[in-house]
Copies of this chain bind each other. A is one copy, B any other.
């Protein structure tokens, strides 16, 4: 992981910050398959599907959600809740296996999830956030949640972040957690998060489900400002397949237990906090890209020399989203024409004759295009560079100051396989 001065990576995910408990378990939202169905046995299907993150103290909260017109019921409920409380939350309940989207009784059931938690924590249902992921358009069974809610709450602890992080996995092959420690105002602060997402990932709000917790003291307004700024250059610069989910949710909860002076405006403290948020969200973004459905390679495209940030983002995303480029990377084929083509159809202002392209990895770097035209390079060297599992595409498009990175992954046989029969 890239190192940042003044920030130390630590364990603990959503439990890294003071006063946050978590738990996760299997409640049976989807019935286990029989062992002889030729796919997966009951053991695989009985992995965690329900989790809860709580704070010992009421939190200031901020969030971003999908921009899809089709919004999952939990998105609508969480939005309403945050509005009702003016940006407060003390718990966040999440499940996988069923997105509870496009169901007539969806909102009622998502709200019921909040009630089940609130009753037992002695808080208002509006102070609970909810997120759900999985198949769209199948009735969500609330009974398994009702049956297991006491066990879920009784088992909450300050070190059960992994139980929670594994409960939101769908086609994810690894759990995604990052946390950092940093100093603010003489106090040790912590900020950590967990994410899930593998397919149906695209700008904007390229994330599916994310929970971030911090013991830093910061107002809801400043928290929202920081989250919106950072999501733009991290999750929103991630694309696995160009599809934008109905249930994307990212919420940050800040309980203030670190004891720093509350951040109420922009300034040095805000900058330090925002950088911590960037480190955690950027690393989760990379993990999401690397674990993209069927992916064998992490692709990172950095565009520099753009006239502004938005131009850099647009061009970087265009490259990362190109299926032809993604296939070429899967094949370790230095077909740089595909990169230039994607740069060319980006809806952004620049002169194609200024474009330089370098392909790089731990095995070296290859200059493949200069001033918009090909330059000679060794195909053998290029192959060596492209056989690595993390590939960087460096695109210079002029002499401006705009720079941005977008993340993605290669397009493989397995992506097609996973999505050809997702519901089974």
Contacts and interface: CB of A to CB of B under 8 A. Distances in A.
A96 to B, nearest CB: 15
A344 B417 contact: no
Interface of A: 67-71, 99, 101-104, 135-138, 199-200, 241-246, 321-324, 327-328, 330-331, 333, 335-338, 340-346, 350, 352, 369, 372-374, 411-413, 415-424
A38 to B, nearest CB: 15
Nearest to A424: B333
Nearest to A199: B324
A344 B65 CA distance: 14
Contact of A321 (B69, B242, B346, B413): B242
Given A102-B340, A324-B419, A419-B323, A70 B372 contact: yes
Nearest to A106: B373
B419 A373 contact: no
Given A345-B244, A369-B102, A138 B327 contact: no
A330 B420 contact: yes
Contacts of A419: 323-324, 327-328, 331, 411
Contact of A135 (B337, B344, B416, B423): B337
18 contacts: A67-B345, A69-B344, A69-B345, A70-B341, A70-B352, A102-B340, A135-B337, A136-B335, A241-B323, A242-B242, A242-B321, A244-B341, A323-B419, A327-B418, A327-B422, A328-B420, A331-B419, A333-B423
Contacts of A69: 343-346, 350, 352
Copies of this chain assembled into the complex = 2
Contacts of A344: 68-71, 246
A71 to B, nearest CB: 8
Q: Which 6 pairs across A and B sit closest by C-beta, in order of nearness?
A: A136-B337, A331-B420, A70-B344, A327-B419, A137-B374, A69-B344
Contact of A331 (B244, B323, B421): B421
Contacts of A418: 327
A139 B261 CA distance: 64
